[in-house]
């Protein structure tokens, strides 16, 4: 290299808003794990795992912008979806060790103050195998619900709408995790009812029992556990099911999707199922609706702020804020 020659600057990729959100969330979880490392046995796994995921986000961002291989672009587009589940399971390793006190008593008192009774017990008089079967099936589609929305947008090549939907859904999930740390609770199926007799008290028709087994297994509850509450996740308040379902319903209207005729009846049924099936207190649903409002109000501002920041620091001109897609 001759004297005076300059080494070309390494171009930095322009991170999308959802990528910046994921990196911030992963770093925050690492910080929490470090602060409470004496209480969290899995803290080394959290630190290493999150560091690797952050590296993957950065590598995909760079490779998709400067090489543009289709499979890399596809992987980058869809990586935020499994990261929602990844961080959700990570909270399971942290919430109860950090805050071992369950606040179900508070949520029960709030329900009784609002309604004068326990809504899950009151609804028991209207239970039927047909209704239970329908609602258990609907409840099991929770993660499919937002996935369908973004698939519809992706297949329609509405990239701005797709990226905004992915960002706001991830943002909504991560906000709900804050509630799990602050007010951990098990839910009425453990406190107001006997978890071990749920199949007898709320029988379905054909698949309800199998779906419950699958959900319990996904929530780390062994099928033969004598004390299932010891294994359960403290993810009751706020109701993420309510928050995310409402977000999907609102976005389906904003994006003028023809499939909104499906999202609204299924969404309303899903929200009702959270109480009927004894997963949530009604106050959880109210909190979920409040978190939905906060998410929808804050997301466009965060997106515009990050896009301006990316414009100032990035070496390439970024796309306009994805929040513009919902105006």
* CB neighbours of residue 127 within 10 Å: 15
pLDDT value at position 315?
46
Helix 260-276 crosses helix 144-155 at what angle (to 10 degrees)? 170
* CB neighbours of residue 54 within 10 Å: 17
pLDDT value at position 259?
82
| Interatomic CA distance for residues 158 and 235, integer angstroms | 33
Global pTM?
0.89
pLDDT value at position 223?
85
Helix (H) and strand (E) counts for the chain? 16, 0
The angle formed by the CA atoms of residues 97, 99 and 105, to the nearest 5 degrees, is 130
Examine the pLDDT at 314 and tell me if it is beyond 60: no
Phi first, then psi: what are they for 245, rounded to 5°? -60, -45
Chain segment 46-98, per-residue pLDDT in tens:
999 999 999 999 999 988 877 778 888 999 999 999 999 999 999 999 999 99
Sort 68 into a burial class: Cβ within 10 Å, 0-12 / 13-18 / 19+.
exposed
Question: Phi/psi zone of residue 187: left (φ > 0), alpha (ψ -120 to 50 degrees), beta?
Answer: left
Are 322 and 163 in contact by the 8 Å Cβ rule? The answer is yes
pLDDT value at position 327?
52
* Average pLDDT value for residue range 3-24: 74
| Interatomic CA distance for residues 194 and 121, integer angstroms | 12
* CB neighbours of residue 248 within 10 Å: 27
* Average pLDDT value for residue range 215-233: 90
b/e burial code for range 167-182 (CB count within 10 A of at least 16 → b): bbbbbbbbbbbebbee
């Amino acid at each position: 290299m001759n004297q005076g020659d300059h080494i070309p600057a390494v171009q930095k990729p322009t991170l999308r808003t959802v990528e910046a959100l994921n990196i911030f969330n992963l770093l925050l979880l690492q910080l929490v794990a470090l602060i409470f490392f004496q209480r969290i046995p899995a803290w080394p796994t959290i630190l290493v795992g999150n560091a690797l995921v952050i590296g993957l986000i950065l590598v995909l961002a760079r490779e998709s912008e400067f090489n543009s291989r289709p499979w890399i672009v596809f992987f980058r587009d869809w990586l935020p979806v499994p990261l929602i589940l990844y961080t959700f399971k990570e909270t399971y390793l942290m919430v109860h060790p950090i805050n071992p006190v369950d606040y179900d008593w508070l949520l029960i008192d709030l329900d009784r103050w609002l309604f004068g009774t326990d809504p899950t017990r009151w609804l028991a008089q209207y239970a039927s195998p047909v209704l239970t079967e329908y609602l258990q099936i609907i409840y099991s589609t929770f993660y499919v619900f937002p996935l369908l929305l973004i698939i519809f947008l992706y297949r329609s090549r509405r990239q701005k709408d797709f990226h905004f939907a992915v960002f706001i859904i991830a943002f909504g999930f991560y906000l709900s995790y804050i509630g799990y740390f602050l007010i951990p609770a098990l839910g009425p199926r453990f406190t107001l009812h006997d978890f071990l007799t749920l199949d007898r008290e709320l029988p379905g028709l054909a698949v309800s029992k199998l779906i419950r087994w699958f959900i319990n297994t996904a929530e780390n509850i062994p099928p033969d556990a004598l004390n299932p509450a010891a294994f359960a996740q403290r993810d009751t308040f706020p109701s993420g099911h309510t928050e995310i379902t409402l977000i999907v319903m609102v976005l389906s209207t904003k994006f003028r999707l023809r499939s909104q005729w499906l999202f609204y009846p299924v969404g309303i049924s899903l929200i009702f199922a959270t109480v009927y099936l004894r997963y949530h207190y009604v106050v959880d649903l109210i909190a979920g609706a409040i978190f939905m409002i906060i998410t929808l109000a804050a997301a466009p501002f965060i997106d515009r702020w990050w896009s301006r920041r990316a414009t100032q620091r990035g070496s390439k001109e970024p796309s306009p804020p994805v929040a513009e897609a919902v105006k």
